Amino acid sequence: MKQIQLLLLRHGECEGGTILRGRVDVPLSETGWQQMSAAVAAQASVCSAIYSSTSRRCADFAQALAAELHSTMPLLSGVPPLSTALSSNSTSASSILTAQTKPLEAQFLSDLQEIDFGDWDGRKLDELYQQEGEYLAAYWQNPWQTPPPNGETMASFESRVNYAIEQILAAEFEQLSIALNSIVLNKGEAQDGTLTPTAKIWLVSHGGVIRHLMARALGVERAVGFYSQLNLPVAAVVKINVLQDEQGSRYWRLDWPSGRCE
């Protein structure tokens, strides 16, 4: 079993005030940069790839994050360093799965952009509610039935996000397999099944994209009002673990923070 941990980072506060941001391309505010920096700093510093929406509010930070982490991040997590593995008495492949470093470059995908709100895109929210409040409320309640005027349908939006995430997962699971196979070939041993090799991937995107992926992880499809019930502040980080078995079947798990009463 192999695992990809998706670290979904929503962009921070943006310039332009309280507007409806879909395809409108606005930069982060200074506060937004600080919010995202703090969100990333709170996570473990292991990363093997960074993917981002092409919108500036995501792409600018993703590029800066990649530069910050350049050549410092392990390819795989949850495994001992090579020096530690070689000094141990164990010779199993799982014990020598090493943290190979590689330069990090953010990869930008247009399919990770926010939904296109059409005629509403970039307009002030208070103005929209005053002029088209009933229409807007119907959209928030059931976006599959009520698309924005001249905008993207929810079906199209979900389809392109699904395509993007499947491309990412295919590429990253392949890299994980290559790394594992290389170790097995070099040592002439197979995995003993005691380790689940994991690659951690940052995905910098938007509220709508992340809510869709959360819904997918929970197995929720076209549930009226569901998206609106998922609280997702700016610079929020959501973790989704995707496991892949030997037959290539994948299993999604939303990684909810767990607490324990003492």
CA angle 79, 254, 197 (to 5 degrees): 15
Sign for the CA dihedral angle at 247, 250, 255, 259 comes to negative
Give yes or no for a contact between 79 and 98, defined as CB atoms under 8 angstroms apart.
yes
- Per-residue DSSP letter, 79: S
- Does residue 62 have a pLDDT over 80? yes
Q: Is residue 98 part of a domain?
A: yes
C-alpha span between 85 and 190 (Å, rounded): 16
For residue 183, the model assigns a pLDDT of 63
Give yes or no for a contact between 27 and 57, defined as CB atoms under 8 angstroms apart.
yes
Q: Is residue 262 part of a domain?
A: no
Q: Is residue 157 part of a domain?
A: yes
- Does residue 122 have a pLDDT over 90? yes
Mean pLDDT, residues 95-99 taken together: 38
Mean pLDDT, residues 27-54 taken together: 91
For residue 101, the model assigns a pLDDT of 54
Q: Is residue 261 part of a domain?
A: no
For residue 49, the model assigns a pLDDT of 93
Q: What is the pLDDT of residues 176-192, one digit of tens each?
A: 888 777 765 554 444 45
For residue 103, the model assigns a pLDDT of 66
Residue 144 belongs to a domain with what CATH number? 3.40.50.1240
For residue 85, the model assigns a pLDDT of 32
Q: Is residue 259 part of a domain?
A: no
Q: What percent of the chain has pLDDT over 90?
A: 64
Mean pLDDT, residues 141-166 taken together: 96
- Does residue 98 have a pLDDT over 80? no
Q: What is the pLDDT of residues 100-121, one digit of tens each?
A: 455 688 999 999 999 999 999 9
Mean pLDDT, residues 158-164 taken together: 98
- Does residue 78 have a pLDDT over 50? no
- Does residue 97 have a pLDDT over 70? no
For residue 185, give its domain range: 2-254
Mean pLDDT, residues 8-12 taken together: 97
Q: Is residue 90 part of a domain?
A: yes
According to DSSP, the β-strands at 49-53 and 198-205 are: parallel
State both tokens at 1.
Answer: 């079993």
Mean pLDDT for all residues in the chain: 83
- Does residue 2 have a pLDDT over 80? yes
Q: What percent of the chain has pLDDT over 70?
A: 78
93: number of Cβ within 10 Å: 21
Q: Is residue 128 part of a domain?
A: yes
C-alpha span between 39 and 221 (Å, rounded): 29
Q: Is residue 260 part of a domain?
A: no
Q: Domain count of the chain?
A: 1
Per-residue pLDDT band at 44 (split at 50, 70, 90): low
State the pTM of this model. 0.84
Q: What is the pLDDT of residues 201-243, one digit of tens each?
A: 999 999 999 999 999 999 999 988 888 888 899 999 999 999 9
For residue 150, the model assigns a pLDDT of 97
